[in-house]
Amino acid sequence: MPTISNQTSEPTVFQKNCKTVASACINDTLDKIKAAEDTGDLTFQEAPEFPLASLVINNRLFPLQSPPRPEIEATNLINHWLQGSLKRRTITLLGIPNLYIVSELIDKLPQGSTLILLDTSAKYLKKLFSCSDLSILISDSIKIHLLCHEDPTALASAFHNIISNETCLSDATYITPAQARTRPELGDIQNSLNAKIRLSAMDRVTVASFADEWLQNCLINLPEISQSPGIKVLFDQFKKKDALIICAGPSLNSSLEYIKEHQKKYLIIAVGTALKPCLNAGIRPHLTIALDSDPKVYRQFMNIEDAPGVLITSYTLFPGIIQMYSSNILPFNSLVTKGFAAWLNNADCEHGFLNVGGTVSLSALDCALRFGCENLFVFGLALSFPEDGTSHAKNSMYQGQKISHGLVKVKGNRHDTVNTTKQFANYIEIMNSYFRDVSASFRGKIFNVNSCGAHIEKLELMRPEEFNSRKHNVAEDFQQIVSSLIKPVNSEIDSLCISTIESFKEICLKSKNLLSSVTSNKTPPELKEFENEIKNCPLCSQLLAPSLKSWCISIENSNDLSPQEMTLSLLNQINGASEWIYGLLENSHQRYKQQTQGVSHG
């Protein structure tokens, strides 16, 4: 009998690399690389530090880095890209990773930086994995992400998710000149990635600029919010039901009569601005959704004597509206209220999450998807203006408003292009991104019921007349279904308020004392202790974060502050914010006690 050898073969370079960089690979990148076919288009030549890559195009070799001195080329390129600045940052490289550049970046970038490596070609990455030692991609100081997707749109979407979670936003997408020349298709991808970076930047600036106002509204709305079970009670409760999402664009006007005729056959969710046009047309939405903290939003609800249905509301909504609906609200958490939601969780108060982005219409759609609705019919989602510049449906708070300048052209539903504003063009991009993300998992159909308007991806176009003549479901009492799901809740808000108020009073006192001890540019030791105290107190750090974000924005342009002035400024901000927060909490706690006195939900 022949003996069986017990020797195991040495893992290949490819196998070693798969193991080494597995943790850096995003989504199914590693699977794609493993499954990719081999390619002769990319070759590698041995070199002292890293193999030299070349692309073979029409039988000619195009080197992807300078063969004589690739390390000098890498240095010059990085200096040109980063203009000598090497602060902590996120850098995105598109194309086959140039290991000389990657190595130099890992060497030079400070601790905490992130490197995102992207490509659309799994076969090129497979070749790289087979020919080069990628152990340099594992670094203790730099976080590295490797992402590959053959679909540029999906790549950009996954990239957006990555940068949304990074502390430092990627400043731009870089591509080596050699790859820009030999792979011209990467140019368009680079543009779409940079567009995602701009969107992310817009989000962050919005959050930081409005953080204080949002927190103020969250705290004022606390009594009503804390007594509600939240939007989550409706999740998955409307399976096999269809929903109408009513937005407030001018295209809604031609659909109102059809919606009215069939309103009992559908769950109706209206955005706040569409409520008055609906009521005026005899339509009573079961749910109305509003998010904006701006007081002008109150005009959407002003003079409505008997507001129908339930209000779906962000924590940040202008308080006057929440108090109008009183207990008839279903609040939700979102990306912009994570800190406040975390604070509420201390009292076992959790409401459910909705996506927000640009326009409230997105959140309305997100509701319907999370409710489990089968098919969605969206009305009034124009995101564009007709020739006369009318901006919204008739009888809305924007009645008579016309937009005629600062317009750009975007792809239309029924026309090649339609007019819109740059802001709406961004909303269209946000919507497109959202639908790309959800379309894979959503089993039903989403219809854009529109005779005009801007084109939104993944939505099936339908004329209002076609909606009217389709086969509808039977009528149901959706209002009763919604009401039956809303039951009062118990929470520990009372004790949470008390503990938080005490903690903030202490911080207020300590920060006031520290202000007098900062007399020079030298940091007093008590300051570090104070900083740790805030960081280690969840109740405080969760609510203080918005004020600190506002402070960061305010000092961003103050280059001439000395260290002492900056320290004093921060302490003043903490002192002022603490006093403001516990003041708001005391008022809200008082209102909460008045509302719940004698009421037991046990």
Partner 1 sequence: MGNHELTEMLIHALENSQVGFDSFKESFQQCASAFEIGNDQEGVRVLTELIDPLKGFSRFCADMIGSHVENIPEELFNELGTQCETFQNLLADILEEMESSNFVEVGDILKYDLGDLISSMSESFPTIALALRKSVPQTQE
List residues near partner 1 by CB under 8 A: 60, 62-69, 73, 76-77, 80, 176-178, 180-181
Closest CB 61 distance from partner 1, rounded Å: 8
Closest CB 181 distance from partner 1, rounded Å: 6
Cα 348 from Cα 329, distance rounded (Å): 18
SS3 content of the chain, % helix, strand, coil (to 5): 50, 15, 35
Instruction: Please check whether residue 547 is in contact with residue 211, taking contact to mean a CB–CB distance below 8 angstroms.
Output: yes
Nearer to partner 1 by Cβ, of 43 and 66: the residue is 66
Which contiguous run of DSSP H or E holds residue 144? strand 143-148
Closest CB 65 distance from partner 1, rounded Å: 7
Nearer to partner 1 by Cβ, of 58 and 111: the residue is 58
Taking residue 17's Cβ as centre, other Cβ atoms within 10 Å add up to: 24
Q: How far is CA 211 from CA 217, 335, 345, 359, 504, in A?
A: 10, 12, 19, 18, 18
Nearer to partner 1 by Cβ, of 184 and 400: the residue is 184
Instruction: Please check whether residue 245 is in contact with residue 377, taking contact to mean a CB–CB distance below 8 angstroms.
Output: yes
Cα 463 from Cα 451, distance rounded (Å): 5
Closest CB 289 distance from partner 1, rounded Å: 47
Closest CB 184 distance from partner 1, rounded Å: 11
Helix (H, G, I), strand (E, B) or coil at 333: strand
Closest CB 63 distance from partner 1, rounded Å: 5
Give the residue among 166, 184, 64, 185 at the shortest CA–CA distance from 115: 166
Closest CB 156 distance from partner 1, rounded Å: 22
DSSP state of 469: H
Crossing angle of helices 122-131 and 13-21, in 10° steps, is 110
Give the residue among 543, 546, 494 at the shortest CA–CA distance from 347: 494
Which residue, chain included where needed, has tokens 């118990």?
490
Nearer to partner 1 by Cβ, of 69 and 601: the residue is 69
Which residue, chain included where needed, has tokens 């937005």?
247
Nearer to partner 1 by Cβ, of 81 and 580: the residue is 81
Closest CB 358 distance from partner 1, rounded Å: 34
Nearer to partner 1 by Cβ, of 170 and 176: the residue is 176
Instruction: Please check whether residue 386 is in contact with residue 414, taking contact to mean a CB–CB distance below 8 angstroms.
Output: no
Nearer to partner 1 by Cβ, of 76 and 327: the residue is 76
Taking residue 447's Cβ as centre, other Cβ atoms within 10 Å add up to: 21
What's phi and psi for 378, nearest 5 deg? -105, 125
What's at 93, amino acid-wise?
A: L
Closest CB 178 distance from partner 1, rounded Å: 5
